[in-house]
Homo-oligomer: A and B are copies of this chain.
Amino acid sequence: MPEFFNVLPPARALEELFARLPLAPQPRRIDTEEALDRVTAAPVLSPEPLPAFPRSTMDGYAVRARDTFGASATLPAYLNVIGEVLMGRASTLALASGQAALVHTGGIIPAGADAVVMIEHTQTVRANEIEVTKAVAVGENSLRVGEDVSAGDTVIEAGARLRPQDLGGLMALGITQVEVSRRPRFGILATGDEVVPPQSPVAPGQIRDINSYAVGALVQRAGGLPIRYGIAPDDFDSLLAASSKALSECDGLILSAGSSVSVRDLTGEVINRLGSPGVLVHGVAVKPGKPTLLAVCDGKPVFGLPGNPVSALVIAELFVKPTIERMLGLRPSPQRTARAKLTRNIASEAGREDYVPARLVEREGELLAEPVFGKSNLIFTLIRADGLLRVPLNVNGLSAGEMVEVRLF
């Protein structure tokens, strides 16, 4: 029986897919307080400077720096205190030469002052008079207007995944709504006459649907919206009908097909009927996951994942996740990896990338990567692992003792 996949290395396969995928994140305006982990669809510009007024960074006295020049513990400068700056109010105080005003951390620096002396470097000598025992430079212990950002600055780029500090920065500027990319909706359809819903008891020969849930959760983590379309039987008409419906309602489709060659062929034929150009890549040089189909149907990405749960998750990690990130317009960010020492030899074949589940163990201060071996049908090999160890394309395996990168889950 012939091997009829045009097997491509993973990076090339992804290029093929992306080349035919229109890149058009769809913007949507949402409340900033709901925007954690969403991706900005446009650059965010600051409408105003931050801080908007000169502020003290210390408890102390606002002064004219020049009045403190040369001051020391043995030769203090003497200043008249003309009042206190209250928090949260504009100050009507205005300092002349030889004057100071009490100011708290975060308080406005009054007119005429250009620095703050820390309270620790002052002594009250009599009512309304202080000694300053340390000189300050202009601007010391204070923030100038716009020191954090200026009006018009790009404060957050387009394609950024919003973190806690980003929400804080937006709120600081009064930006209570933000333009983010709409989450791409991915239909997920399991196929296979042997597959039953997880709620069902299993009869001999049947297995429960894993991929709809595991791949769905991966879609969700990547920033997409998974929509499960249940389990379709292994016949052309049923699979085409279910796939067409799912794709028409979503921005992309994931078929978790059976793994037998006939079912795989069926999946390919169905995908080719969903839209043009149809299947672009028949098979990828990845283990596990070789029998993967990558397709674009009328501008929407369609994935035919292998039925084996480990293969399905590895392929979803390598192909579905970057596709979702591209649809979101997310800027590339470093992959989460850990560097560890391999504990055992791993055999591989040149010409394909191997992904081996690995557990990370710390022993005597050293991080070790222990491969979790197992057939790609065994979902619990992934559950016992902390990440995937990559054996590169043109390498005949890895040796115990080598330092390796583990791509963390």
Residues of A within 8 A of B (CB): 1, 32-33, 36, 50-53, 55, 57, 59, 85-91, 104-108, 119-120, 143, 147-149, 155-156, 163-169, 171-176, 192-196, 198-211, 213-218, 220-221, 234, 258-263, 307, 309, 313, 333-334, 336, 338-339, 360, 362, 367, 374-375, 377-383, 386, 408-409
* Chain B residues within an 8 Å CB radius of A163: 217, 409
Instruction: For A383, give the chain B residue with the smallest CB separation.
Output: B169
With A168-B211, A213-B168, A214-B168 known as contacts, the answer to whether A192 contacts B106 (CB < 8 A) is: yes
Contacts A106-B307, A108-B204 aside, 17 further interface pairs with beta carbons under 8 A come to A53-B204, A88-B194, A88-B195, A88-B206, A105-B260, A106-B207, A143-B377, A149-B380, A165-B379, A167-B213, A169-B379, A169-B380, A171-B198, A171-B214, A172-B207, A173-B208, A334-B367
* Residues A59 and B165 in contact in the complex (CB < 8 Å), given A201-B174, A202-B52, A375-B143: no
Whether the pair B171, A208 counts as a contact (CB closer than 8 A) is: yes
Instruction: Please measure, in the bound complex, the distance between the C-alpha atom of A201 and the C-alpha atom of B36, giving whole angstroms.
Output: 23
In contact, B210 and A87 (Cβ under 8 angstroms): no
In the bound complex, residues from chain B placing their C-beta under 8 Å from that of A380 are 50, 148-149, 155, 169
Query: Which of B88, B91, B107, B213 makes the CB contact (< 8 A) with A171?
Result: B213
Find A202's partner among B104, B174, B175, B381 (CB 8 Å cutoff). B174
> Are B209 and A171 closer than 8 Å at their CB atoms?
yes
A190 CB to nearest B CB, Å: 11
A149-B380, A165-B313 as given contacts; A106 in contact with B213, CB under 8 Å: no
Question: Are B360 and A168 touching (Cβ within 8 A)?
Answer: no
Let me know if A217 and B258 touch, CB within 8 A.
Answer: no
> With A168-B313, A309-B172 known to touch, is A59 a contact of B210 (CB < 8 Å)?
no
Chain B's closest residue to A340 (CB) is B334
Give min CB distance, A172 to chain B, whole Å.
Answer: 5
Q: Are B106 and A259 in contact (CB under 8 A)?
A: yes
Complex formed: what's the CA distance from A148 to B357 in Å? 14
The complex places the Cα of A306 from the Cα of B119 at a distance, in Å, of: 19
Closest to A51 in B: B207
In the assembled complex, how far is the CB of residue A155 from the closest CB belonging to chain B, in whole angstroms?
7
A-B contact pairs, 6 of them (CB 8 A): A87-B258, A90-B203, A148-B380, A164-B215, A164-B218, A164-B409
Contact between chains at B221 and A36 (CB < 8 Å): yes
Bound complex: CA A120 to CA B210 (Å): 29
Decide if A198 touches B214 in the complex (CB within 8 Å).
no
Beta-carbon nearest neighbor of A147 in chain B: B378
B1, A120: Cβ atoms under 8 Å? yes
Please, which residues of chain B bring their CB within 8 A of the CB of A168? 210-211, 213-214, 217, 309, 313, 379, 382
Contact in complex: A210, B360 (CB < 8 Å): no
- Provided the pairs A108-B205, A205-B91, A378-B147 are in contact, do residues A210 and B172 lie with their beta carbons within 8 angstroms? yes
CB distance from A244 to the nearest CB of B (A): 23
Nearest B residue to A259 via CB reads: B105
For A212, give the chain B residue with the smallest CB separation.
B171
Interface pair A205/B258, CB less than 8 Å apart:
no
Nearest first, the 9 A-B pairs at minimum CB distance are A168-B214, A88-B194, A164-B217, A90-B204, A171-B198, A165-B382, A104-B260, A88-B193, A168-B210
- Taking CB atoms, residues of chain B closer than 8 Å to A261 are 59, 119
Residue from A204, A262, A380 with most neighbouring chain B CB atoms (10 Å): A380
